[in-house]
């Protein structure tokens, strides 16, 4: 029988986010500035996004550490379950395991 709901204890919480970009066969096209259509630079994103988020977006690291402050906030929302999207995995015909929060 397939397990769909997972409850994590605080000690089981992830400490890193997985970045799919390094594993993609073909990376997505670069962002273009909506006005000039030039390739966007990190400075173009600065008015909208925090610097740390821009660095994550441009990162080629496979694993990105979750800041301690964010981990502390995530722990407050437990024990809300993590759900496995097995039907979505099947529809995508992927070997990846896909999980989501409700």
Please indicate, yes or no, whether residues 26 and 51 belong to a single structural domain of this protein.
yes
State which residues form the domain around 42.
20-60
Q: How big is the chain, counted in residues?
A: 102
pLDDT in tens, the chain (102 residues): 778 887 878 788 889 999 999 999 998 888 898 889 999 887 888 888 888 888 888 888 999 999 999 888 888 876 678 899 999 999 999 999 999 988
pLDDT of amino acid 64: 95
Tokens of 39: 């390739």
Please indicate, yes or no, whether residues 24 and 14 belong to a single structural domain of this protein.
no
What pTM did the predictor assign?
Answer: 0.61
Structural domains of the chain, count: 2
Please indicate, yes or no, whether residues 72 and 99 belong to a single structural domain of this protein.
yes
* Distance, CA of 72 to chain centre: 17
Please indicate, yes or no, whether residues 38 and 12 belong to a single structural domain of this protein.
no
Residue 84 φ then ψ, to 5°: -95, 130
Please indicate, yes or no, whether residues 24 and 54 belong to a single structural domain of this protein.
yes
Please indicate, yes or no, whether residues 85 and 75 belong to a single structural domain of this protein.
yes
pLDDT of amino acid 62: 95
pLDDT of amino acid 63: 97
Please indicate, yes or no, whether residues 31 and 56 belong to a single structural domain of this protein.
yes
């Amino acid at each position: 029988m397939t397990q769909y709901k997972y409850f994590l204890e605080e000690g089981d919480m992830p400490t890193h986010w997985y970045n799919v970009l390094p594993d993609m066969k073909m990376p997505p096209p670069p962002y273009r500035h909506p006005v000039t259509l030039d390739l966007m630079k990190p400075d173009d994103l600065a008015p909208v996004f925090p610097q740390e988020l821009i660095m994550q977006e441009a990162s080629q690291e496979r694993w990105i550490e979750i800041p301690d402050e964010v981990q502390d906030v995530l722990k407050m929302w437990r024990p809300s379950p993590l759900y496995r999207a097995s039907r979505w995995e099947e529809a995508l015909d992927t070997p990846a395991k896909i999980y989501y929060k409700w």
